[in-house]
Structure 1
Amino acid sequence: MVTQDLEGGDRQRAMKRLRVPPLGEQQSPWTTFKVGLFSGSFIVLLIAVVLSGIFHRSRDDWRIVFRLYRGPLLIIEFLFLMGINVYGWRSSGVNHVLIFELDPRNHLSEQHIMELAAIFGVVWALSVLSFLYSASLSIPPYVNPLALITIMAVFILNPTKTFRHEARFWALKVLGRIILAPLFYVNFADFWLADQLNSLVVVFVDFQYFICFYLTNDNWMAADDINVCVDYTQIIRPLVGCLPAWWRFAQCLRRYRDTKEAFPHLVNAGKYATSFLVMLFSTMNVIYTDAYRVTTENPYFYLWVMASILSSCYAYTWDIKMDWGLFDKKAGDNKYLREEVVYSSTGYYYFAIVEDFILRFGWALNLSLTTMGYVHSDIMISILSPLEVF
């Protein structure tokens, strides 16, 4: 989109315009200190969480705990990785300030983003520890996840001109345009963030579970029925899970309306449409599970698998050829890559090709291990979802 809008589709000219000398932005020593302090504190607390989880008395409600705490942790991971992205862009001379239409005089550096992620990480770890040791602290355990989400929400939605007000409301404004797609013209920041949200589907589904749990469970000391918010929301959950794909689908339709170009916009919309098929057949497979003696007798199971293969192949091909422009015949010395590369080491690109393939088909590993009963589905989701964000 940037190439098309800036230089009429000329990738080489667009790359020259967007690339600048490595940006040696001056970092505040105080911010650097805080990043180190909070990051170190988070690592120590995370180790304490892992050890406490291993040696603490086992809980029957561990699946609920996973679902309540997994979403916030994925958001924290996303923020930290975004900070690394900004550092990589700046170091490689990618003019992200121009691309995202940021204020050149007032925007967040990678250290500010990492600092926020580290602070949220410390709060998250303290909340989990408070949950695990709630009996000793005389605190109702399920107050802790609610307090964590409240703290994060208050920070993000705080209307006062404090705590990086401009950056927070820039992000909220972009998020608002995404949610209201296809009503608004699609900027680069809009579809970039919407693409990232497609890696955070678990966050949306867990947040739906979070709301359901606190609306239906009035006992904050215990939660005996772990399936109440799964069984009662079999239709709502897949609809929530489809939201990120719908937003990108709607954005593609809006781009087609504005440009009248079927390629790439309608073809890209088709990629997200396959996600709807996956979610539809997955839901039908679950609904009709009890109607068949074994999974392999359920026709929706095979439709789900075929839709998943189609979606993964479609998305992987688009990632490699369209989003990254790899396997270019004019790549020259950059074999299997493209003529213009941003990062100095081509190893990053080869790693991305393999890593993206593995993650695009990670659902097959999840399906195999959970169907055969080797690993619980919540554990597999908790393992694969951070990799998807990565």
Structure 2
Amino acid sequence: MKFGKELAAQMVPEWQAAYMDYSSLKNFLKEIHALKQKSRQADAPTSLQQALTLYRGFSGLIQRQNQRATSFDDHDIENQAILVDSMQGNGSGKYVTTFLMAAEEGAEYEHEFFRMLDSELSKVDKFYRSKVKEVVAEAEILTKQMDAFIAFRIKAEKVEKKFDVSSDKMIPTNAVQGGRAGSNKHNDAKQSNDSLQEIDHEDNPKNPAACIRLASQEVLNRVRLNRDIQVPFPAAKVNCVSMNKQTQMNFTKGNLTKIQKQLKQAFIEYYYKLRLLKNYSFLNVLAFSKIMKKYDKITSRRAAKHYMRTVDDSYIGSADEVTKLMERVEATFIKHFSNSNRSKGMNNLRPKSKKERHIISFCTGFFVGCTAALTLALILIIHARDILNKEGRAQYMESMFPLYSLFGFVVLHMLVYTGNLYLWRRCRINYTFIFGFKQGTGLGFREVLLFSFGLATLALTSVISNLDMEMDPKTGDYKALTELLPLALVMLVMILLLCPFNILYRSSRFFLLTTLFHCICAPLYKVRFQDFFLADQLTSEVQAFRSLEYYICHYGWGDYKLRQNTCKSNDVFNTFYFIIAAIPYWSRLLQCVRRFYDEKDPMQGYNGLKYFLTIVAVCTRTAYGLDRGDSWKTLAWTFSAMAAIFGTYWDLVIDWGLLQRKSRNRWLRNKLLVPYKSVYFAAMVLNVLLRFAWLQTVLNFHLSLHRETLTAIVASLEIIRRGIWNFFRLENEHLNNVGKFRAFKSVPLPFNYDEDEDRSD
């Protein structure tokens, strides 16, 4: 792989603009190379020069090192092409390279090349300096958190004080539970922030770690537990504020476990930042080395050595704060969060690379083949038995089709999400960071595709087994086993989703269930991106939720053996038909209310108004579908048009960031990840058309399709629209993170210091 592609593959997506622009410099060198070839004289006496070298004086087979170095340096000085001036001392943070071969032909191009190179070096050096400053400041915060954590641990574990801590006397090691100091006596001498400090070896020469001093517990007088993270709204938060400090500092083992878990996650995320910074420094220094080698090769100069000496002396090439911090974090994490087990600690700190398994590809191909074969078999069976013209067709569509359409909606949404994952990966959109997936646990498009076609295979098998239209002439009913297949399949999916065992990607299932719980309990929890993103997905699955309602009615109050029920004429069913349709939009509305309360952003209020209009539009369309009155038709028209226009504007302008008149890409936005602008315009047109798919339910188009089929088609179009929305919504979110160089998630810390509160006030 060429270095340019390797650099693009390894760079942090949110920091892409802060990396050295290797491709532009490489293209500029190609122009210089073309110019050199054109200006090269064809009559250069190369053969004569080669012959004259045969008569040069012989310098001997053995040369002394100092003589060779001296002659080499003199030769360099005579042929030096550049002079690099660093302005770091006066605080400007810039580098200026003077090209000394100004008299040569094409020198202005090489001068421009070094101007670009200096600009890139200043850019990466300034960015790296700012990020190192941030991690150093964060290291101080984590140090204070560790001081409070260790003091809290002493209180919670009730460590006996056999001697006064303020004195220089010693206490036995067995006074500390777990014997942490004894098991890590060699590392204690290197760790300056450890709570269990070693004493002078002269007091106990045989076992210098046998006696320790407890960490100071005075820090607990200046801190309190941070309970503002994921606090229910609003009553619990008020109660939390009204609690005094003594009540909050409850020294229990449960609180100690929570604090340790929070700090452990904070250290893992912090170590990840350090790794990215170290990789950033390495890649940029390597990029400068590669580009200077190309320059020397094209121009036949020896400038790389002089320029790389400047790069090595710069902050990005010489600073070692990140390396030292990584060593300190490793030592601290292994000691306090891994019970001095280095292997376990490093496995937690290092990012877990996800392995691509061949079994996933094999099973996906198997289920794709099964889905295609079953679909073909279903078509042939319908044609061979002439099922579409049988008397039981209407009854089947009314009673059985809503049961199986649920799986169609779910499979279609999963396939759309699979396409989103693939495109996000191709466009280098950091969706794992945006969604907050743990490293190495997020599902890729292959895994989601496997589950999609696996569910499709099971659903099609159930449909074919249940396709018999003929009733038993003696009993007048259908086979109970085949009639229960849809319910059994739903129960199987629910069991697999809720399975507590560590199978079938338990971490991803738990993440989904947790996010779903936050959507249901809105506005009791602070809204994160994955919360409202999932809630938006649920708003496109209204018909799927209605199908679940139909399951309860069909198997609970209907005669499923006769494929008969009175669901559509039941007042309770029709009432919940409204409620089920409004629940996803209501959850999204409450999330907007919570975000408006937390962020004080008026845009969240307008967004909530959009979902309120959508709730009214859905309810009026549902009422018109049940009543068919002119008054309901007028209301459905009015509110549906308002909701569709409002929603379309919000999608294109707010969620996608498009339709910007003064952008570099007219009517789009300044930064685009898809190279073809026509894709954006086509997506906008499709979004408008699919937003108005509700017109079918109001205008009553006379199509030769059953009502259930038409409803399923409209619901499928909404799912496809949501898939298109997903890609551009995440692209816009990614670009916002890129604009702010936001590549790390903020991890809540367990303690609040009094001085931090005073500073914030």
Q: For the Cα contact (< 8 Å) 1:234–1:283, is it kept in 2?
A: no
Say which of 44, 65, 68 aligns to 2:373.
44
What TM-score results when the alignment is normalised by the length of structure 1? 0.86
> In the aligned structure 2, how far is the partner of 1:350 from the partner of 1:340?
15
Single out whichever of 342-351 and 186-195 deviates more from structure 2.
Answer: 342-351
1:221-248, CA deviations, whole angstroms, 9 ceiling, x for partnerless residues?
2223465466542211111001110111
Look up the equivalent residue of 1:277 and give its one-letter code.
V
Structure-2 residue corresponding to 1:236: 576
The aligned runs of 1:291-330 (5 Å cut-off) are 295=629, 298-330=630-662
Look up the equivalent residue of 2:533 and give its one-letter code.
W
Structure-2 residue corresponding to 1:32: 361
> In the aligned structure 1, how far is the partner of 2:579 from the partner of 2:379?
33
Structure-1 residue corresponding to 2:412: 77
Structure-2 residue corresponding to 1:359: 690
> In the aligned structure 2, how far is the partner of 1:145 from the partner of 1:159?
24
The aligned runs of 1:139-150 (5 Å cut-off) are 140-150=481-491
Say which of 594, 598, 613 aligns to 1:274.
613
> In the aligned structure 2, how far is the partner of 1:110 from the partner of 1:174?
20
Q: For the Cα contact (< 8 Å) 2:354–2:441, is it kept in 1?
A: no
Q: 1:236 to 1:47 in 2, by over 3 A?
A: same
Look up the equivalent residue of 1:260 and give its one-letter code.
K
Q: For the Cα contact (< 8 Å) 1:70–1:206, is it kept in 2?
A: yes
Q: Report how far residue 377 of structure 1 moved.
A: 2.7
Structure-2 residue corresponding to 1:11: none
Look up the equivalent residue of 1:42 and give its one-letter code.
T
Q: 1:34 to 1:125 in 2, by over 3 A?
A: same
- Are residues 1:68 and 2:403 paired? yes
> In the aligned structure 2, how far is the partner of 1:102 from the partner of 1:353?
29
Q: Report how far residue 47 of structure 1 moved.
A: 2.5
Single out whichever of 341-350 and 164-173 deviates more from structure 2.
Answer: 341-350
Q: 1:36 to 1:346 in 2, by over 3 A?
A: farther
More helix by share: 1
Structure-1 residue corresponding to 2:712: 382
Structure-2 residue corresponding to 1:250: 590
- Are residues 1:214 and 2:555 paired? yes
Structure-2 residue corresponding to 1:3: none
Q: Secondary structure at the match of 2:573?
A: coil
Look up the equivalent residue of 1:104 and give its one-letter code.
Q
Root mean square deviation, CA, Å: 2.6
> In the aligned structure 2, how far is the partner of 1:72 from the partner of 1:166?
24
> In the aligned structure 1, how far is the partner of 2:490 from the partner of 2:360?
25
What TM-score results when the alignment is normalised by the length of structure 2? 0.45
1:64-91, CA deviations, whole angstroms, 9 ceiling, x for partnerless residues?
2121111122111111221211111111
Q: For the Cα contact (< 8 Å) 1:282–1:301, is it kept in 2?
A: yes
Q: 1:110 to 1:19 in 2, by over 3 A?
A: farther
Q: For the Cα contact (< 8 Å) 1:19–1:95, is it kept in 2?
A: no
Q: Taking every aligned residue pair, what percent have the same amino acid on both sides?
A: 24
Q: Secondary structure at the match of 2:400?
A: helix
Single out whichever of 40-49 and 166-175 deviates more from structure 2.
Answer: 40-49
Say which of 170, 174, 177 aligns to 2:515.
174
1:251-272, CA deviations, whole angstroms, 9 ceiling, x for partnerless residues?
000000001111x100100110
Q: Report how far residue 347 of structure 1 moved.
A: 3.0
> In the aligned structure 2, how far is the partner of 1:387 from the partner of 1:350?
19
Q: 1:365 to 1:173 in 2, by over 3 A?
A: same
Structure-2 residue corresponding to 1:342: 673
Look up the equivalent residue of 1:194 and give its one-letter code.
A
Structure-1 residue corresponding to 2:524: 183
Q: For the Cα contact (< 8 Å) 1:61–1:224, is it kept in 2?
A: no
Q: 1:385 to 1:228 in 2, by over 3 A?
A: closer
Q: For the Cα contact (< 8 Å) 1:76–1:120, is it kept in 2?
A: yes
> In the aligned structure 2, how far is the partner of 1:118 from the partner of 1:209?
24
Q: Report how far residue 134 of structure 1 moved.
A: 8.3
> In the aligned structure 1, how far is the partner of 2:409 from the partner of 2:626?
28
> In the aligned structure 2, how far is the partner of 1:101 from the partner of 1:18?
20
> In the aligned structure 1, how far is the partner of 2:16 from the partner of 2:691?
29
Structure-1 residue corresponding to 2:534: 193
Q: Report how far residue 28 of structure 1 moved.
A: 2.4
- Are residues 1:153 and 2:494 paired? yes
Q: For the Cα contact (< 8 Å) 2:582–2:619, is it kept in 1?
A: no
Q: For the Cα contact (< 8 Å) 1:107–1:167, is it kept in 2?
A: yes
Q: Secondary structure at the match of 2:482?
A: coil
Say which of 106, 115, 119 aligns to 2:450.
115
Number of equivalenced pairs: 364
Q: Report how far residue 170 of structure 1 moved.
A: 0.6
Q: 1:274 to 1:183 in 2, by over 3 A?
A: same
Single out whichever of 92-101 and 224-233 deviates more from structure 2.
Answer: 224-233
> In the aligned structure 2, how far is the partner of 1:110 from the partner of 1:18?
24
Structure-2 residue corresponding to 1:7: none
Look up the equivalent residue of 1:336 and give its one-letter code.
W
Q: 1:310 to 1:19 in 2, by over 3 A?
A: farther
Structure-2 residue corresponding to 1:9: none
Q: For the Cα contact (< 8 Å) 1:134–1:141, is it kept in 2?
A: no
Q: For the Cα contact (< 8 Å) 2:523–2:590, is it kept in 1?
A: yes
Look up the equivalent residue of 2:678 and give its one-letter code.
G
Q: For the Cα contact (< 8 Å) 1:141–1:221, is it kept in 2?
A: no
Q: Considering only CA atoms, is the larger Rg found in Structure 1 or Structure 2?
A: 2
1:288-328, CA deviations, whole angstroms, 9 ceiling, x for partnerless residues?
54xxxxx4xx2221011111111110111111111111111
Q: Secondary structure at the match of 1:132?
A: coil
Q: For the Cα contact (< 8 Å) 1:142–1:222, is it kept in 2?
A: no
Q: 1:19 to 1:203 in 2, by over 3 A?
A: farther
> In the aligned structure 1, how far is the partner of 2:376 from the partner of 2:382?
10
